[in-house]
Each structure stands twice: as C-alpha cells, then as structure tokens.
Chain A
C-alpha cells in the first residue's frame, strides 16, 4: 500500500480543501459503509490509546463513546446516513493543548487502520481531505 507521511498527507489535503469539501456519498461506500467505518475507527482509537505519543490524551475518556462519536462523524462527512451532531472540535480538545505532532500521530494511526482495513488509497486521501480543516480547531498547543 502506498503511504504518505501524515504531515505530507495533511498538507496535500489542506492545499486541496479550499473551499470546504462537500459531502460525498461515494466515499461512504468506499470506506465500507457503516461497518467499514466502525472497523477503521475502532482500530484507530485502539492504536492511539496504545500509542505512547498520544495515549495520555485519551486518559479519563469513555473510549466506547468516543468511538461511537467519531464513527458518526466519519459517516456524516463521507456522505453516509448519520445525523450531524456535536459541539465542534475546539471545545472538546482545547483543554488538551494538542500540538501538531500529536495530531500527526493520530493521522498516522488512522492511515494504519485504513491500510489494515484495505481502504483504497484514494479514499484514504479523500477522508483525510475532509478531516484536515479540523486541525485548526484541534491543534492549540
């Protein structure tokens, strides 16, 4: 599987994401529908919780709830039949003081999870493109 470094993948995604990317129903199918998304999200969170670079940021957090919310978010972003909810990324992350390296570590884990799930490379990039604008709200450190 071809692989971009997280920072490079995000840079490519960010450079391509103005104006804001629209929802794309085909991407939902390419990610394997809801079952595929749940598999990717579960794997991403499990990898991140075990990742010494960012494990601390998942401390005192309900992992099952987090997985459910992220899966719903990916479902919505990729054009799936999930309601948009939540308060935005800023309020949920600002207290953590996350740095760019932390964000990149999470993206790396997401890429590994998508590789493991057999997600097509183009679909990976498209999902990263949709997620990239959130970096501005998440990285505050």
Chain B
C-alpha cells in the first residue's frame, strides 16, 4: 500500500467543494432571477392591478381580464383532460394486458410528453380550428364562430398537451397501490370495478391530485401553443356569456370568444408594444403573478407527493 492517501484526500476535498460551489452558483443565479422579479413586481401588485383592466393604451391599469382568461382556459383544459387522462390511466394500469398494442399506447404517451409545445399549437390550429371548427360552422350554419381561434380550441390543445402528464402520474399512483390491498378486496367478493372504485382510486387519490396540479401549472405557464389559438392583446369585454333561466342569470365562461392570458400579456408587452420601458413595471407585476401561480401550485403538488410517499411507506 502506498502512502499517497493525503494526496488523494486533497483531490476528494477539491472535488467535493468544486461540485458544491457549482451547485450553489446555479442556485444563486436562479434565486437572483426570482428575487429580481419579486422585488420589482411586488411594488406594482395591489388590488387595482389584480382586478382592473388595462388603461391608457396598455401603459397603466391592471391585468384583471388576463388573470380571468388564464383561469378560464385552465379550467376548461382540466374539464377536457382530467376525465380522459384518468380513465386512460385506469385502463392501462388495471385492465390492459401486456400486449403489443398496449405497449405502443404506453410508449407513445411517454414520448409525446417531449414533443415541443409549439407543435401542439400547430396541430391545434390545423386540426381544431381549421378542420373541426370550420366543419362545425358549416353544419350549424353559424357563420364564422368556431372556425376561428377561440378559447375552446386553446383549451382543447392545452388539454392534449397536459394529457401525458396526467396519464403518467395517475398510472404511477395506481401502480403504487399494493397488490395485497386489491387481493383483500377480491377476497371479500368484490368485482373488479368495485375494487377500482373503493380501494384503488381512493388510495391513489393524492398521487392523482399531484399530477393534476402539475398539469395545471404546466397549462398556466405554456405560451407557445396559444400564440395563434385565440389569445388576444386587449379585449374590451370579458369572455363571459349569461345563461338565463327566466329572471335568474348565471355568468358562464364563453368558450367561443377570444381571451386574454397573463403569459401572452407579458410576451406582448415585452416584445411588441411601442414602448417597452414604460410598461416595464407592469411586465414585472404580470411576471410575478404568473410565477406566483405556477410555483404555488407546484409547491402544493410537492407537498401532496411528500404526503403520498409517507403513507405509501407506511403501507
């Protein structure tokens, strides 16, 4: 045995500290970005900013309609993607046998999670707007209503975009339910559907919730697909339609309208407006709201996952 141990230990020491420094540089840069947006943005945010509409040719006022549009699109997106995603995952985990076809479904879902979002946007425009929308219009004879970029198609496109996230995370949650729990239920005479309904789904609940929240965060943050799917720079009216039953009127999201969206708002203010420096505080404010929404939902998702893993370990 040679006595070069101290020499080697210096190498280890150097290496460990180098990696550590690298990591904290990274963390520092990311923190710098967040804190810069936070410091510049927090001064802008107040009640007016969150609920007012833009004024003076977008140079003052708030982002109320943009927040409304963002939430409306996200809610619609969930309405489309959640049932389909969960049912697909239930089929894949509980019913599907390991056949070639099912393996193809699994592989394509995994791979589509990596397809660029702009390609989904392209598909949304070509398929939903110009193909399905135009055909709906010609069947309903509704003129140009659905055959143009509107919220319905933006939400549908985002729904397909987040579908892989929901399917994969739901599958993970379903697969983590121990086989013994299922067997116990079967032993009590339960049918397959009863097992799924009363044992598997309740136990996988927080895992499914995690995936849903991640999908929401992804849907809120995506800008590229909605660029040409109905996001508008400025709309005088909220995309609302009133459903009236006699005297009682219920405001509803109108999916056949264009919409404002926080991320699109930031993009336009930062790149296309005539004077980006005047609107800079508004941009920081909007960016802070957008980051707030996505990070908040992610933190909730992380919390649920943490809780889920804990109960899983307890088994």
Is chain B found bound to chain A in the same assembly? no
Residues of B within 8 A of A (CB): none
